[in-house]
Chains A and B, each alone.
Chain A
Amino acid sequence: MLKRLIVDAAYNLQTSKSYQARKQFFKNILDNNKYKYKKYLDLFMVILIFISVAVLIREVKHPVHDYMFFFNSYVISIIFLIEYLLRFWIHSSVSEIIVQRAEHDSFLSRDINLYKAFKKVIQVKLSYIFSITAIIDLLAIMPFFHELRLLRLFILFRVFKLFRYANSFQTLASVLATKKFEFFTLAIFASIVIFVSSVLIYVMEANNPDSPIDTLFEAIYWSIVTISTVGYGDMIPVTFEGRVVALIVITSGIAVLAFTTSLVVSAFTEKLDEIREIKTIENITKLKKFYLVCGYEDVAQDVVKKLAKNDNEIIIMDEDINRVEQAKRDGFRALNYDPGKVESYKKLHINIDKQVKAVLCLCENDVENVYAALTIRSFNKNVFILSLLMENSNRKKLKFAGINKIVYPQELVGLITKELIGQPVAFEIIHELRSEKSNVNITEIVVTQRIVENFATVGELGNKNFRVVLLGIYKKDKEQFYFNPLETTFISNGDFLLVIGYKVFIKEFEQHLHTKVNRV
């Protein structure tokens, strides 16, 4: 009966949307570095830690107000306790373990063995309790028992909690962890040198009444101070033998220091690109809208520069490291990822539907563009994909790959030539209007509800006062363009005004449309 109740409760929790959503929320806010609100919690906890340490320092020589003492000992400790318990909760799912055991046993037509399930629960929870970070968290709560004066020192463990909240510490730890073996070797070498030199200096100096080194502890102290090249000078060997030992320790000290420095530097040098890449991905994840450009060849370089001028965010992906370096030199975010692999997009941790304005497959090779487009389509059907086409015979393949818009440069040349000779005037004007270098431009202004409330008809817009030509209105709902509309034409929310004029005047006109106050 009890067994049935426990299993039912586990199933209920596993299937409860609200419970899972809450648990996910706490997981995100405590553990997910990509969750946008986590940084606020981190900042809050860091502030609490610094308050604790500040109180501890103040307490050494000055009296601390009772309310501050209360805040430090109880409020902060309780917050840390809550955090500890939440982490204990989200670390693993008890209900999931029970459900898995129940399903496993049911599948094998056995009686549900809750003993095994609980054993596993205890194992996973203990693995959390005995993890270094959890131990630090627990010790940081200790000052709660402030009556025990010694326990107040545990407040320093709160400083160690900073490791949790500062990504740089985690990066540093991960960088140094790559050189575990080298650091271990260094530690063994340094320990042997310290041990041997301590014993030697003790043997040589301890019986000499003029020597300040009397005990083995003092010998070890002297060895460490000397090997680290700090050399306080408070203890110096006085015998000839002792000084010989000192010479050896000093020389070894230089070797240890040089070895340590080179290890740290080489660890950072090797991991620098990886650290930068992680940082770039973190920044990409935070972007609201951006263009994803696959390939950074000639056309792509020009497109990216033009898009960037319009304040667009752009992410470039190219499997050629030289082109990626070029993109970085040009000041863009670029990743040395293969656009033809799903893994490349997974690494970015982005929501393609929400964050990507369009994917531009601009490799000057149809095979690569088709491959990249198909890769994207394999996990996203909606995102707009534009691609270059280099060989007309491949057009169908690009369409089949799910590319929404194909740009074929050879065809463009043909069309441009035709217009150049057939309609030179239109060509010149349109080229001028499209060119970024020209002063006179064509711009689309979206009609908002606010504009509609202020200006009901075309005649009220007053574009002529701003020296702006209204070429026409594009009605999005009807997908129709109304050229040179009559002054009595009504404008509606969602329409686009196509205006021609000097950039500065168009800007003023746009401001006028958005700022005019409602008529009484």
Chain B
Amino acid sequence: MSKNTALLFGFNKYVEEIVKNVQDEYAQVKIFSLNKEDMDHPEYEIEYFDLSDDWHNTDTDKDIDIKNSIAFCVLEDTAENIFLTISLRAHYEELPIIAIASHKENANKLLMAGANKVIPLVETTADIITNMLESPISNTILHDILYEKSDLKIAQIEIGENSHFKDEELSSIDWSHYHGIIVLSVMHKDMSSEFIYSSKAKRHIIQEGDVLVVVGYETDIVDFETKIGSERYVNWSHWSW
């Protein structure tokens, strides 16, 4: 399920960075600011919005295909950002919302307000600094996987109806037959995820709809998909911290 419009609420340094990184992913990137003066910005096309309910009934709102959109709540004032998130959720139940919070405390409030994903700035920055210092190698490897600097990928593969793993016990499968692939975890239909060596996963019988999380090179992942008769899968609703 891919989205084609990114709605960015707020105009600041964070939004500029987000635009830089996501503009290639979406057909349309719309920026909304609470400040009317931002509308004259020479570089970006910025629209005005306010936090009242009236805004949702304006022409701008009607132009947006909400079903194919994703919202980023990036207002600098935490209270306003929470209010914006709750307003968006109240009006659009299905709209995926990513919000930015200064601290974990505010992140919890944003989640309660209906955000699907919250990035707590201080904690995230601190995590990255700590990882850089304490686990420099794993940090580099994971960073390269994440930011596509390496050919290694992490993929999610759904067990299809015709997969020959169906109805097999997870622990009975010899994964070494699939060179180049490491299976990290299995995600059940109810979205609960289990590490491959957990005691629950050990006894798990693979069913249709289960999702395997694998690490490997792109070619090996494709090869693996072909061999087991399943395909890659992306589910937005898995989002949760």
Please indicate the chain B residues that have their CB under 8 angstroms from the CB of A469 in the complex.
182, 184, 196-197
Nearest residue in B to A388 (C-beta to C-beta)? B125
Q: Mark A404-441, 1 if CB is under 8 A from B, else 0.
A: 01010111111111111111111111110111000110
What are 15 A-B residue pairs whose CB atoms fall within 8 Å in the complex? A303-B129, A305-B126, A307-B130, A409-B121, A415-B146, A418-B22, A426-B146, A426-B154, A428-B238, A440-B185, A469-B184, A471-B215, A483-B216, A496-B137, A502-B195
Q: Judge if A444 is at the interface, Cβ distance under 8 Å.
A: yes
Residues of B105-138 at the interface with A, using a CB-CB cut-off of 8 Å, are 117, 119, 121-135, 137-138
Residues of B131-155 at the interface with A, using a CB-CB cut-off of 8 Å, are 131-135, 137-139, 141-142, 145-148, 150, 152-155
Contact present for B153 and A407 (CB under 8 Å): no
Bound CA–CA A301/B125 (angstroms) = 11
Q: Judge if A500 is at the interface, Cβ distance under 8 Å.
A: yes
Q: Judge if A511 is at the interface, Cβ distance under 8 Å.
A: no
Which of these, A303, A426, A429, A498, contacts B141 with CB under 8 Å? Answer: A498
Q: Judge if A242 is at the interface, Cβ distance under 8 Å.
A: no
Bound CA–CA A431/B234 (angstroms) = 17
Report B97 CB to chain A, min CB distance, Å.
12
Bound CA–CA A291/B126 (angstroms) = 14
Number of residues from B at the complex interface, CB < 8 A:
67
Please indicate the chain A residues that have their CB under 8 angstroms from the CB of B215 in the complex.
471, 483-484
Contact present for A501 and B197 (CB under 8 Å): yes
Please indicate the chain B residues that have their CB under 8 angstroms from the CB of A173 in the complex.
none
Contact present for B234 and A425 (CB under 8 Å): yes
Report A410 CB to chain B, min CB distance, Å.
5
Q: Judge if B180 is at the interface, Cβ distance under 8 Å.
A: yes
Which of B13-21, B35-43, B48-56, B77-85 is the interface stretch?
B13-21
Q: Judge if A212 is at the interface, Cβ distance under 8 Å.
A: no
Contact present for B128 and A425 (CB under 8 Å): no
Please indicate the chain B residues that have their CB under 8 angstroms from the CB of A299 in the complex.
122, 125-126, 129
Q: Judge if A292 is at the interface, Cβ distance under 8 Å.
A: no
Which of these, B100, B133, B150, contacts A386 with CB under 8 Å? Answer: B133
Contact present for A414 and B146 (CB under 8 Å): no
Report A391 CB to chain B, min CB distance, Å.
8
Q: Judge if B217 is at the interface, Cβ distance under 8 Å.
A: yes
Contact present for B133 and A416 (CB under 8 Å): no
Nearest residue in A to B241 (C-beta to C-beta)? A431
Q: Judge if A155 is at the interface, Cβ distance under 8 Å.
A: no
Which of these, B138, B196, B236, contacts A424 with CB under 8 Å? Answer: B236
Q: Mark A346-382, 1 if CB is under 8 A from B, else 0.
A: 0000000000011010100000000000000000000
Please indicate the chain B residues that have their CB under 8 angstroms from the CB of A425 in the complex.
154-156, 213, 234
Contact present for A426 and B145 (CB under 8 Å): yes
Q: Judge if B11 is at the interface, Cβ distance under 8 Å.
A: no
> Given A410-B13, A469-B182: A298 and B122 within 8 A (CB)?
yes
Contact present for B137 and A444 (CB under 8 Å): yes
Contact present for B122 and A410 (CB under 8 Å): no
Q: Judge if B70 is at the interface, Cβ distance under 8 Å.
A: yes
Report B188 CB to chain A, min CB distance, Å.
15
Nearest residue in B to A463 (C-beta to C-beta)? B197
